[in-house]
């Protein structure tokens, strides 16, 4: 251990980044972890963690790497020799025939009661790639949690598997054909890629807000389906204008 109390973290790229004893303690504090919690998570002994934080012994690079990975796996990021923050942005790729089902599994745990869920522009083929039980559960949770649902679908659509017609607006078929299906929920934006077997999920409050504003423009320019305009029946879901 150097006199400054620094350890070395080596990234896969080969560059070397310093992490201080103070950063380790601060990271534990941010997570509410004891030294034993950290030891259990990174596979070291509590004694090794204690010795490192007190500067009593020099820590091996692989042990320090294990400590860093334990923190980083929970969304913490070390900045220089003093900084520490929670990561607020990341992206992941859902792949395979089950990609949209995996997306549906992610949507509702990310939403709170009364939150807004924006879907679209979508064509029927998007919902056909989602299992009926996922769609049924989706509709149940939207109603149960009184969430606001907005769906942009192709002009002429008589019904949407994602929600009732009075939660829909019609947009042109060319928009639905030429733009990827998008799901905006909480701080996340999910985009169905062209082949229909991959979905990119971006977690970023700024990106979600920007795409929500773009969705609002499309929504305000789109028409309510005639059946929804003419229906006097009460709305089964909590829908509101933003």
Domain residue spans of the chain: 6-86, 91-230
Beta strands in the chain, from DSSP E residues, in sequence order: 6-10, 16-20, 76-79, 83-86, 90-95, 116-122, 148-154, 168-171, 182-185, 188-192, 198-203
* 105-162: pLDDT as tens digits: 999 888 989 999 999 999 888 888 999 999 999 999 999 999 999 999 999 888 889 9
Q: What is the pLDDT of residue 18?
A: 57
Q: What is the pLDDT of residue 137?
A: 92
Assign residue 14 a region (left: φ > 0; alpha: ψ between -120 and 50; beta: otherwise). Answer: left
Whether 6-86 and 91-230 share one fold: the answer is no
For residues 38 and 184, give the distance between their C-alpha atoms in angstroms, rounded to a whole number: 35
The CATH class of 91-230 is alpha beta
CATH number of 6-86: 1.10.260.40
Check pLDDT > 60 for residue 237: no
On whether the pTM is more than 0.75, the answer is: no
Q: Give the mean pLDDT of 42-60.
A: 89
Look up residue 117 and give its two tokens. Answer: 């869920």
Q: Give the mean pLDDT of 53-77.
A: 84
At residue 70, φ and ψ (nearest 5 deg) are: -60, -40
Q: What is the pLDDT of residue 196?
A: 74
- Mean pLDDT estimate for the chain: 83
- Give the three-state DSSP class for 79: strand
For residues 173 and 192, give the distance between their C-alpha atoms in angstroms, rounded to a whole number: 17
Q: Considering the chain, what percentage of its residues have pLDDT values greater than 90?
A: 43
Picking from 142, 135, 179, the residue whose alpha carbon sits closest to that of residue 159 is 135
pLDDT band at 206 (very low <50, low <70, confident <90, very high): confident
Check pLDDT > 50 for residue 15: no
Q: What is the pLDDT of residue 19?
A: 75
Look up residue 111 and give its two tokens. Answer: 């939403």
* 77-81, 93-97, 101-105: segment of lowest average pLDDT: 77-81
Strands 182-185 and 116-122: antiparallel
Check pLDDT > 60 for residue 77: yes
Cβ atoms of 5 and 22 within 8 Å: the answer is: yes
Q: What is the pLDDT of residue 230?
A: 55
Q: What is the pLDDT of residue 80?
A: 77
Report the length, in residues, of the chain: 242
Assign residue 196 a region (left: φ > 0; alpha: ψ between -120 and 50; beta: otherwise). Answer: left
* 13-27, 84-98, 151-165, 180-194: segment of lowest average pLDDT: 13-27
């Amino acid at each position: 251990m150097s006199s400054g109390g620094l350890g070395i973290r080596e990234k896969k790229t080969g560059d070397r980044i310093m992490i201080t004893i103070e950063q380790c303690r601060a990271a534990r504090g941010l997570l509410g972890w004891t030294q034993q919690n950290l030891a259990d998570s990174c596979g070291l002994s509590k004694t090794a963690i204690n010795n490192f934080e007190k500067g009593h012994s020099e820590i091996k690079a692989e042990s320090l790497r294990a400590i860093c990975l334990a923190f980083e796996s929970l969304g913490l990021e070390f900045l220089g020799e003093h900084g520490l923050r929670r990561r607020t942005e990341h992206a992941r790729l859902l792949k395979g025939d089950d990609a949209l089902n995996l997306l549906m599994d992610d949507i509702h745990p990310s939403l709170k009661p009364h939150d807004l869920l924006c879907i679209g522009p979508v064509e029927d083929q998007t919902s056909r790639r989602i299992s009926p039980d996922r769609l049924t559960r989706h509709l149940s949770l939207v109603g149960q949690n009184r969430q606001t649902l907005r769906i942009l679908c192709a002009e002429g659509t008589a019904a949407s598997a994602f929600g009732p017609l009075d939660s829909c607006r019609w947009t042109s078929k060319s928009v639905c054909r030429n733009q990827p299906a998008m799901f905006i929920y909480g701080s996340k934006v999910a985009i169905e890629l062209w082949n229909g077997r991959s979905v990119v999920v971006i977690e970023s409050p700024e990106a979600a807000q920007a795409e929500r504003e773009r969705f609002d423009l499309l929504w305000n320019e789109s028409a309510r389906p005639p059946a929804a305009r003419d229906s006097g029946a009460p709305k089964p879901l909590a829908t509101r204008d933003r």
